[in-house]
């Protein structure tokens, strides 16, 4: 496994790879969710490139950039047995050298949900992912359903900017009690960690109504809120039942839909979602 930081070394290493390349972009502090993407990339491509970069431009001023968890040695030891060819760990100076002023922005899809709560977040995401695509030239790129809007926004960017690659969206990996794996789960204290299963329970409650034939989106949103309200440590930021493609809030569910939510558990902001239909 080759590990590089500079763009020069990345390009040289990329040139030595012949055949299909799967790319898995991450911010590190890897867990089973990340590793499921890497395993899928390995199964579907001759080579795998993983990027580890805590991208400053996708964090808001009041967010957790400086305390975002990092453990590079552990990350590399998790990736080595999976047969990863190349790990690119650029510094912020490599990605955004002095004088940097070019941005990639996706329009309407970034307005609701995470985009509404985290102004500028997706501009940072699409810019850095576009740069990763340009630098690594992958055949396929792997993202998690856990970040549903991110996957939708990047898919839009790939189509709109004609990136010659295939997007692969992988299912959300969960803990045994249903909590979606996330690097940010590390912030939870014991009580918050227990309480955090309420996101999964709330999504499951709404899904059960849907499977029982309920198609009124407001009824599903109310169900999610009601379950979340049973957990005193949970503070709802948003709860959504939206069209899967446009992410616009629905009144009646007629096609594929996305149930999603952002919930503060103490100071830690957690997101989760289910796809319906």
Give least dist CB 125 to ligand AMP, A: 9
How far is 115 from 119, CA to CA, in rounded Å?
Answer: 6
Stretch that binds ligand AMP, among 1-9, 168-176, 197-205, 246-254 (CB under 6 A): 168-176
From candidates 14, 146, 221, 269, binder to ligand AMP by CB under 6 A: 146
Judge whether 17 and 85 are in contact, CB under 8 Å. yes
- Residue among 131 and 146 whose Cβ is closer to ligand AMP: 146
Between 26 and 126, name the residue whose CB sits nearer to ligand AMP: 26
Selected binder of ligand AMP within 78, 180, 199, 224 (CB under 6 A):
180
Residues 115 to 144 in contact with ligand AMP, rule: CB under 6 A: 143-144
- Check binding of 182 to ligand AMP (CB under 6 A): yes
Q: Using the rule CB under 6 A, is 183 a contact of ligand AMP? A: yes
Minimum distance of ligand AMP from residue 55's CB (angstroms):
8
**In this chain, which stretch among 84-92, 169-177, 212-220, 252-260 interacts with ligand AMP, using CB under 6 A?**
169-177
Residue list 71-90, contact with ligand AMP (CB under 6 A): none
158 near ligand AMP, judged by CB under 6 A: no
Using CA atoms, how far apart are residues 12 and 217, in angstroms rounded to an integer?
A: 51
Which residue stretch of 94-102, 127-135, 178-186, 250-258 sits at the interface with ligand AMP (rule: CB under 6 A)?
178-186
Dist. CA 57–CA 216, nearest whole Å: 38
Edge to edge, what strands does the sheet with 166-170 contain?
2-4, 86-88, 47-52, 21-26, 140-144, 166-170
- 250: which residues sit within 8 A by CB, 6+ positions away? 217, 241, 242, 243, 257
Q: Alpha-carbon distance 155 to 169, whole Å?
A: 10
Q: In what order do the strands lie in the sheet with 257-265?
A: 234-243, 257-265, 268-276
Site residues (CB under 6 A) for ligand AMP, limited to 23-62 = 26-27, 33-34, 36-37
Q: Give the whole-angstrom CA distance, residue 50 versus residue 28.
A: 10
Q: Is 181 in the site for ligand AMP (CB under 6 A)?
A: yes
The 8 Å CB, 24+ separation contacts for 157-164 are: 157/104, 157/106, 157/126, 157/129, 157/130, 158/133, 160/106, 161/104, 161/130, 163/130, 163/133
Q: List alpha helices for 137-275, DSSP H.
A: 148-160, 190-195, 198-211, 217-229
Q: Smallest distance, Å, CB 190 to ligand AMP?
A: 21
Q: Does 260 bind ligand AMP (CB under 6 A)?
A: no
Query: Which one of 48, 141, 153, 170 is in contact with ligand AMP (CB under 6 A)?
Result: 170
CB of 56 to ligand AMP, least distance (A): 13
Active site residue 121: no
Partners of 257 in the β-ladder: 243, 276
Region binding ligand AMP by CB under 6 A among candidate stretches 38-46, 126-134, 176-184, 236-244? 176-184
Q: Which residues are catalytic?
A: 34
Binding site for ligand AMP (CB under 6 A): 26-27, 33-34, 36-37, 143-144, 146-147, 170, 172-173, 180-183
């Amino acid at each position: 496994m080759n590990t590089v930081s500079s763009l020069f070394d990345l390009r040289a290493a990329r040139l030595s790879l012949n055949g299909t390349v799967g790319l898995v972009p991450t911010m590190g502090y890897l867990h089973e969710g990340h590793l499921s993407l890497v395993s899928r990339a390995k199964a579907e491509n001759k080579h795998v490139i993983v990027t580890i970069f805590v991208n400053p431009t996708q964090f808001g001023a009041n967010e957790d950039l400086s305390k975002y968890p990092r453990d590079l040695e552990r990350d590399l030891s998790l990736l080595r047995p999976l047969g990863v060819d190349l790990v690119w760990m650029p510094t912020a100076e490599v990605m955004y050298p002095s004088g940097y002023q070019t941005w990639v922005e996706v329009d309407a899809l970034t307005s609701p949900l995470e985009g509404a709560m985290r102004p500028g977040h997706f501009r940072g995401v699409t810019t850095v992912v576009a740069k990763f695509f340009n630098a690594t030239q992958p055949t396929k790129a792997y993202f998690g359903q856990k970040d549903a809007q991110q996957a939708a926004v990047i898919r839009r960017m790939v189509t709109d900017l004609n990136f010659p690659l295939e997007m692969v969206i992988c299912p959300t990996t969960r803990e045994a009690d249903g909590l979606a794996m996330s690097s940010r789960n590390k912030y939870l204290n014991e009580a918050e960690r227990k309480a955090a299963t309420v996101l999964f329970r709330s999504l499951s409650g709404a899904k059960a109504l849907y499977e029982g034939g309920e198609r009124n989106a407001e009824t599903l949103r109310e169900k999610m809120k009601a379950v979340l309200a049973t957990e005193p440590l949970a503070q709802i930021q948003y709860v959504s039942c939206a069209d899967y493609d446009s992410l616009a809030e629905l009144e009646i569910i007629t096609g594929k839909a996305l149930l999603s939510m952002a919930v503060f558990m103490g100071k830690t902001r957690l997101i989760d979602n289910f796809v319906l239909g």
